[in-house]
Amino acid sequence: MTAGGRRFAPGQVVVRRYFRARNGLIIVQACRVVSDDERGLLLWMPVGSRNRRITTVDGRRYEQLSRAEWDAADKVLAEHPTRRHHILMLMPPAPVGAVAWHSVFWFFEPDGAFAGWYVNLESPAARWSDGLDLVDYDLDLWVSPDRSWRWKDEEDFETATREGLDWSGEQAVDIRAEGMRLAKRAEAAEFPFDGTWCDFRPDPQWQAPAPPPGWDRPPAW
């Protein structure tokens, strides 16, 4: 819930913002609210959403440079629209006693065909009036429509774990365990990997969103 017990309204444009200790605000995702209830916060980010992502001033991204080059470069939050897939995002309520949390993304081709699930391992989100702030844990899973799965970005996760700026080595064990918990749910075809929302279609009146005013405000925490 937001401050004062309020929920986001269906159709409202909100932003998911990713922060990291080294670089501050690194990703801004503009989304529309599908629903916000006991099952969690469901968001829609179609192709053309006017997102932002940290790059060097000449447009290069982290994965295109060595770590030394990246650290030495001047950076900006450049526009980075969603290009290849429409994405439905579920941010579920955090389970009691959990250490690491996650979101699940449904990827859709431009023609609406379901392409697979993406499990994004991340911190619990801090809400504010028009968005949510979180720390991305780097380590993710890709789950194909047949529910086979694989890890993503393991090298980045190990590098960030060694640095210890955003999570500790002990927390890294729990983060990976959270990923394995979701992988087992996928193998068993349990929610959210049971076919729910694989045929999702958005409100036809919804246009690709842009971040609302205040998207660059200080973090909610």
Place of tokens 């690491």: 100
Computed over every residue of the chain, the mean pLDDT equals 92
Average pLDDT over residues 167-177: 95
pLDDT of residue 68: 79
pLDDT of residue 100: 56
Confidence of residue 69 (pLDDT cuts 50, 70, 90): confident
pLDDT digits (tens, 9 = 90+) for 41-53: 999 999 999 999 9
Flag whether 213 is in a domain. Answer: no
Flag whether 201 is in a domain. Answer: no
Give residues with Cβ within 8 angstroms of 118, minimum separation 6. 87, 104, 105, 107, 140, 141, 142, 143
- Report the C-alpha gap between 14 and 133 in whole angstroms: 11
pLDDT of residue 97: 53
- Report the C-alpha gap between 201 and 114 in whole angstroms: 11
User: Quick one: CA torsion of 23, 28, 33, 35, rounded to 10 degrees?
Assistant: -30
pLDDT at 72 over 90: no
Flag whether 127 is in a domain. Answer: yes
Confidence of residue 1 (pLDDT cuts 50, 70, 90): very low
Query: Are 61 and 27 within 8 A, CB to CB?
Result: no
Range of the domain at 86: 3-187
What are the CA-CA distances from residue 133 to residues 14, 180, 198 (Å)? 11, 24, 27
CATH number at residue 54: 2.40.380.10
- Report the C-alpha gap between 20 and 137 in whole angstroms: 9
Nearest residue to 136 (alpha-carbon basis) of 91, 170, 106: 91
pLDDT digits (tens, 9 = 90+) for 113-168: 999 999 999 999 999 999 999 999 999 999 999 999 999 999 999 999 999 999 99
Flag whether 206 is in a domain. Answer: no
pLDDT at 181 over 70: yes
Query: First-to-last CA distance in the chain?
Result: 15
Flag whether 106 is in a domain. Answer: yes
Number of domains in the chain: 1
SS3 21: coil
SS3 163: helix
Q: 3 exposed, middle or buried (CB, 10 Å; 0-12, 13-18, 19+)?
A: exposed
pLDDT at 212 over 70: yes
pLDDT at 30 over 70: yes
Give pTM, 2 decimals.
Answer: 0.92
Confidence of residue 99 (pLDDT cuts 50, 70, 90): very low
Flag whether 218 is in a domain. Answer: no
Nearest residue to 36 (alpha-carbon basis) of 2, 60, 68: 2
pLDDT of residue 2: 41
